[in-house]
Amino acid sequence: MNTPLTELGVGWKLAAMKSLAWRPRCLSGLLAALLTATGLIAQTTVSVPLLVGDSGKIDLGFFTGGSLLQISASGTGDLVDSRYQTNPNGSMAGAPGAPYLFTAAGAAYGAVSGFPSGDGINRFVGGGANYDFSGSGWMFAGKQTTDTTDPAAIRAGAIVGTFIASPSRGDWFLIGYGGTFSVPAGGANLFVAVNDSFSPDNHGAYSLSFTVVPEPSVVAMVGAGLIGLGCFRRRWR
Ligand SMILES: [Ca+2]
C-alpha cells in the first residue's frame, strides 16, 4: 500500500524536529570532548616564581597565529624580603615596609631626572611602583615615567608577557590578573616573567593558568565535521 505524500511530509518534519532536538545536547558534549581530546582546548597551570625576571623568563610554548590565549593569574609575592608584597598586576598586597613607603597609593612619588615627573603623588590604583627609588632603577618592562596615571607604565611585581624571544622594553605587555591575548600572525612562543629590576631578593610565586581558544576557522571546521558525523550516524541507524 502506498503511503500518502502528505504523511511522508509530516514524517520528514517530525524526523527533522527530533533530529534538531537531539543535536544540541550531543553536539555540545561531543564538540567539547573532541576539542579537549585534540588539545585544542585545555587549561594549563604554571607557577611563576617572583625571582623570574627577564633573564629567566618562562617559555609557555608555541601558539598558533590568530589563536586567542585566555589567561588568569592569582597569588601574591614579595619583591624585597617581606617589605614589598604585590599582586599579579603589581598593586600592593600588604602595607609596604621602609624604605618602600612610596609604593602606597597616595604617598609621595619621587621624580626621576630626565623623565616625565607626573604630579609627585602615587596614583597607581592599589599602590605599587614602576621605579625603585632605593636605587635599582626602572623595571625592565613598561614605559619609563613617574606619571603614575600613564597606562603604559607597568608596575614592579606585575606578571608581564612577550611573544619576542629576545625582547626589548617595548616588547613586553602587562598580563596582570589576566585577560585574552591574541597570538601574532605566523605564531610565536609566549614568554612570561615578573617585572622587577633586581630579582634575587624576591620570594613566593604566582599561579598562572591559560587556555588556548583555537582560530574561529578551526572551530568551524570541527563543528562542521561533527554536524556531518551526526547526520551520518542519524541516517545510518
Ligand atoms: Ca626585588
User: Mean pLDDT, to the nearest integer, of 114-142?
Assistant: 92
pLDDT digits (tens, 9 = 90+) for 28-86: 456 655 665 565 578 999 999 999 988 899 999 999 999 999 999 999 999 999 999 99
Residue 153 pLDDT: 97
How far is CA 59 from its chain centroid? 14
pLDDT band at 21 (very low <50, low <70, confident <90, very high): very low
The residue that leads in pLDDT, 210 or 6, is 210
* Grid cell listed for 3: 503511503
- Distance (angstroms) between ligand 1 centre and the Cα of 126 equals 19
Query: Global pTM?
Result: 0.77
- Distance (angstroms) between ligand 1 centre and the Cα of 25 equals 52
The residue assigned the cell 607557577 is: 47
- Ligand 1 is a single-atom ion; what residues have CB below 5 A from it? 79, 196, 198, 201-202
Domain boundaries, the chain: 43-228
- Distance (angstroms) between ligand 1 centre and the Cα of 97 equals 13
Residue 93 pLDDT: 98
Residue 237 pLDDT: 58
pLDDT digits (tens, 9 = 90+) for 152-178: 999 999 999 999 999 999 999 999 999
Select 43-228's CATH number: 3.30.360.10, 2.60.120.430, 2.40.50.360, 2.40.30.10: 2.60.120.430
- Distance (angstroms) between ligand 1 centre and the Cα of 197 equals 7
Contact 54, 140 (CB under 8 A): yes
Query: What are 72's strand-pairing partners?
Result: 178, 209
Give, to the nearest 10 degrees, the angle between helix 5-37 and helix 216-236.
130
pLDDT band at 236 (very low <50, low <70, confident <90, very high): low
- Distance (angstroms) between ligand 1 centre and the Cα of 203 equals 9
Nearest to 91 by CA among 155, 159, 140: 155
- Distance (angstroms) between ligand 1 centre and the Cα of 206 equals 15
- Distance (angstroms) between ligand 1 centre and the Cα of 102 equals 15
- Distance (angstroms) between ligand 1 centre and the Cα of 204 equals 12
How far is CA 20 from its chain centroid? 36
Residue 41 pLDDT: 73
Residue 10 pLDDT: 41
First-last CA distance in the chain: 24
What's the chain look like in SS3?
A: CCCCHHHHHHHHHHHHHHHHHHHHHHHHHHHHHHHHHCCCCCEEEEEEECCCCHHHCEEEEEECCCCEEEEEEECCEECCCCCCEECCCCCECCCCCCCCHHHCCCCECCCCCCCCCCCCECCCCCCCCCEECCCCEECCCCCCCCCCCCCCCCCCCCEEEECCCCCCHHHCEECCCEEEEECCCCCEEEEEEECCCCCCCCEEEEEEEEEEECCHHHHHHHHHHHHHHHHHHHHHC
- Distance (angstroms) between ligand 1 centre and the Cα of 38 equals 41
Residue 36 pLDDT: 56
Residue 180 has pLDDT above 50, yes or no: yes
